[in-house]
Structure 1
Amino acid sequence: MTGKIMAASTDNNLNISASIAGILNERHCSEHLQVLKTFTAALRDEEYRDAVEKEVFSNLLRVLTRLCEELQTANRDGDDLQSSTLQLQLTAECFRVQRNSCVQSERNQTLLRELGFIDVSIKILSVLQAIHSESKDAIFEPLRCGIQFLGNLAVGNQLCKDDVWQLSFPDLLLKLLSVDDEKVLNYTSMVLHTCLDETKVEDLSKPQYIQLALRVMELCRIQPDLDWTVLIATQHFLMSSALVESMYSGMSHHERVTLLELLFAQLREEDSDECGIPPSVARFLASSFQKGCGAVLTLATGSASSDEVLQEALTVISLLDLLCELTSDHKQFMFLQNHPDLLVTTVELLEQVHAIGKASKNIFSTAQNFSSFSGDGDPSSHSPVISFKAHLIRLIGNLCHSNPNNQNKVRELEGIPLILDNCNIDSNNPFINQWAIFAIRNLLEHNRQNQELVAALEQRGPADYSALRELGFLVEERDGSLLLKPVSKDS
């Protein structure tokens, strides 16, 4: 039985080979398209795929090369696309043949690579993406099939990956990622993801190539349903500190927020301590927050008249949210406790924001408007700085956890009374009282001087400290230490 199958496959090979060779000697016609479609369908069978002779692929390459030359000539001469319709259909079908032949077949991947299919196919894709026509569907069909071929060719085959990368990077990939067709974008992103490795990601961080990385990030923002671009960003881009820094410097503030949101999602999705984000990326983010944090203050003065100024402030807010997450239950990022002046910057910013909010009615002022939290209201839609003060306090608490030097630093900066003064209910800062209690606990833990300071504040009985007591907490001396303790309901 096996012998009959092999004989049938051999006969099929000879018939297909002869039919494809005949295309080279005749004027293009619909029968040629049918020959290729028959070949495409046959290649869905794994046993047939593995039995296709080299000569068959050689003849197919000659057909593809002829089509490439014809399309190049038509494009160069500015011929009407209608006259090239059959060539475009034949090209699409050649690509389908190539695509199907590579499915789970390392043998065919290697064979097509050695014969030179990559070079010719990429030349055709370069021509197709440059053609401007009202009949876009006629161009999109071969474009999509050609890109799918490159993807199937590269999967699991390092030599093919490297060749595809060498011949398409960066210009063709960038152009294909700018085509107005969702399938072309998706398939190109798939090829890019398949080819990427650590070395290639480092190439992308170079100034002459950064536009390709920026385009991927732009697609993450404007077309979040393209899964491949998000995978490229999270599995490759965010793992490279050099690329993150290069992209960040070349991005608009709006694009930076997208980058920070992806980093935040990456941290949240990882269950283990090792999330894959390098420590150097965390350091860069902390420095970026310190450098730009003053932008958020413009929101209170009304000087945030332009969208660009607003986006700059929102970038600062996103950086703060990310720093809070980095320093919460991620041991590998706790070195940020010792990041130069990060704690000082955060305490000083809290002091400025708090003072501005008290000086006059503005976006940083304490509010009691809890109606925005009922019904369909979304509190985040009412203020760009929702929870900003609460998150500043949260970050201070994180940076002081089991860190005597930072505990002392906050005391020296007079940050403890400042935090106690934020123990009031504030609809602009949900849970600010809980974060204030959390921060005070971390500041008092095993720190006698800080405990004595809070005790002295209680003895003076200022309004700042009474807010803490109203929340149900008092300071109690126990075994020589002062502890925050919930007030019992009976007292």
Structure 2
Amino acid sequence: MAAPRPPPARLSGVMVPAPIQDLEALRALTALFKEQRNRETAPRTIFQRVLDILKKSSHAVELACRDPSQVEHLASSLQLITECFRCLRNACIECSVNQNSIRNLDTIGVAVDLILLFRELRVEQESLLTAFRCGLQFLGNIASRNEDSQSIVWVHAFPELFLSCLNHPDKKIVAYSSMILFTSLNSERMKELEENLNIAIDVIEAHQKQPESEWPFLIITDHFLKSPELVKAMYAKMSNQERVTLLDLIIARLVGDEPLTKDDIPVFLSHAELIAGTFVDQCKMVLKLTSEQHTDDEEALATIRLLDVLCEMTANTDLLSYLQVFPGLLERVIDLLRLIHVAGNDTANIFSSSGCIKAEGDISNMAEGFKSHLIRLIGNLCYKNKDNQDKMKTLRTGEVK
């Protein structure tokens, strides 16, 4: 005769299976934690049981990492791992008591180690991806609005987890790892990013590939753009395509519905120094576009976007006064306008009236847009600034049409 089943435990008056030792029991517990009253009365012992299952199931993943032939035998273990993560994820929703209990069991370290093993497997089984995603969701939830958990997540996850996940081919994994990064970042940890620029650049690339995903966008706008030191270091290391993406986001911040605050101005003055200095040094790269073999030159296109940023920056009074006296800026812009005018008259290229290359946005012709923006920038730099007005009269050798 079979031994009698142990009586079910009670959680806030709701019957739950005990002990938690199989998939069905985990699923029942996951469902219970969808309700706030059940989360708030959960005993710590339940989380220890879930952690025990997670650890036991992770051994199969460790074995598969050592012996790839074992991957095909992971199904049952991945189901248990997935449900453990779902259960813990739900338990952490708006419940700091559970966040703290689960954290104090060192569950975060176990979860991060397991997620890194998932990446090491390098297989795209849907069951593995589901467990991977749920593990990241758990880390995001345990860190949400909980500084102690954020600190522990950062200790375990930085930098390996972000380096492993931000460039993952699965969009959800990229989004969830971005959520964890956004949640965990603060001013002190931003300094660590300056020493791990590949992570910051991976975020730019993630936004470039998934512009609809909110987490990479928020990391850049709410964290990166508030750190001029990081932006400067990133810009030096990024590809020109990545630079264009970053510059587009700076433009979006400048022209957005919310104006720059007093706290934003010193930061954007630093950005203005980087943008203006880079433009002064590199603006003649645009002349590459006069050659047929360079009509899609990425370096020249990045320079065009620098000009777009300068136009928007000089529309801001606080930034304008700084840029009006920036060494060499007005002179270089006037000189470039003259060179482009001459190039357009001398040969058939995109700066001539027959140019036909299309650009993004409302500008139908890239070259016409560039020339009009040069003129706009000159006008802004001379606005209510007699020194620049006089300088312009001196620099002009003839009317540029």
Q: Please report the TM-score for the alignment, with normalisation by the length of structure 1.
A: 0.75
Identity of aligned residues (%): 35
Superimposed CA distance per residue, residues 393-417 of structure 1 (whole angstroms, 9 cap, x where no aligned partner): 11111111111211111112126x4
CA-CA distance at 1:132 after TM superposition: 2.8
SS of equivalent to 2:122: coil
Tell me which of 28, 48, 53 is aligned to 2:43: 53
SS of equivalent to 1:129: helix
Question: Quick check: 1:195 aligned with 2:184?
Answer: yes
Do 1:122 and 1:168's aligned partners in 2 also have CA atoms closer than 8 Å?
Answer: yes
Question: Quick check: 1:266 aligned with 2:253?
Answer: yes
2:157 partner amino acid: S
Number of equivalent positions: 389
How is 1:46-445 mapped onto 2 (pairs within 5 angstroms)?
46-133=36-123, 136-206=125-195, 209-274=196-261, 276=264, 277-302=267-292, 304=294, 307=296, 310-366=297-353, 380=363, 383-414=365-396, 417-418=398-399, 421-422=400-401
Distance 2:288 2:176 in 1: 43
CA-CA distance at 1:332 after TM superposition: 3.8
Distance 2:223 2:320 in 1: 20
Instruction: Rate the CA distance shift 1:123–1:213 in 2: closer, same or farther, 3 A.
Output: same
2:33 partner amino acid: L
Q: RMSD in angstroms over aligned alpha carbons? A: 2.4
- Which 4+ runs in 1 deviate beyond 3 A? 10-13, 366-369, 377-381
Do 1:300 and 1:362's aligned partners in 2 also have CA atoms closer than 8 Å?
Answer: yes
Do 1:240 and 1:278's aligned partners in 2 also have CA atoms closer than 8 Å?
Answer: no
Instruction: Rate the CA distance shift 1:35–1:352 in 2: closer, same or farther, 3 A.
Output: same
SS of equivalent to 1:278: helix
CA-CA distance at 1:108 after TM superposition: 0.6
The equivalent of 2:11 in structure 1 is 9
CA-CA distance at 1:387 after TM superposition: 1.6
CA-CA distance at 1:303 after TM superposition: 5.2
Do 2:348 and 2:355's aligned partners in 1 also have CA atoms closer than 8 Å?
Answer: no
Distance 2:204 2:298 in 1: 17
Structure scoring higher RCO (CA < 8 A, sep ≥ 6) equals: 2
Instruction: Rate the CA distance shift 1:59–1:338 in 2: closer, same or farther, 3 A.
Output: same
Superimposed CA distance per residue, residues 218-241 of structure 1 (whole angstroms, 9 cap, x where no aligned partner): 111122121211111111112211
Do 1:317 and 1:385's aligned partners in 2 also have CA atoms closer than 8 Å?
Answer: no
Do 1:89 and 1:142's aligned partners in 2 also have CA atoms closer than 8 Å?
Answer: yes
Instruction: Rate the CA distance shift 1:356–1:133 in 2: closer, same or farther, 3 A.
Output: closer
Do 1:9 and 1:51's aligned partners in 2 also have CA atoms closer than 8 Å?
Answer: yes
CA-CA distance at 1:368 after TM superposition: 11
Instruction: Rate the CA distance shift 1:317–1:282 in 2: closer, same or farther, 3 A.
Output: same
Instruction: Rate the CA distance shift 1:10–1:350 in 2: closer, same or farther, 3 A.
Output: closer
Do 1:213 and 1:247's aligned partners in 2 also have CA atoms closer than 8 Å?
Answer: yes
1:123 partner amino acid: D
CA-CA distance at 1:333 after TM superposition: 4.3
1:222 partner amino acid: K
1:129 partner amino acid: R
Question: Quick check: 1:19 aligned with 2:27?
Answer: no
Distance 2:396 2:56 in 1: 78
Superimposed CA distance per residue, residues 447-478 of structure 1 (whole angstroms, 9 cap, x where no aligned partner): xxxxxxxxxxxxxxxxxxxxxxxxxxxxxxxx
Distance 2:13 2:138 in 1: 26
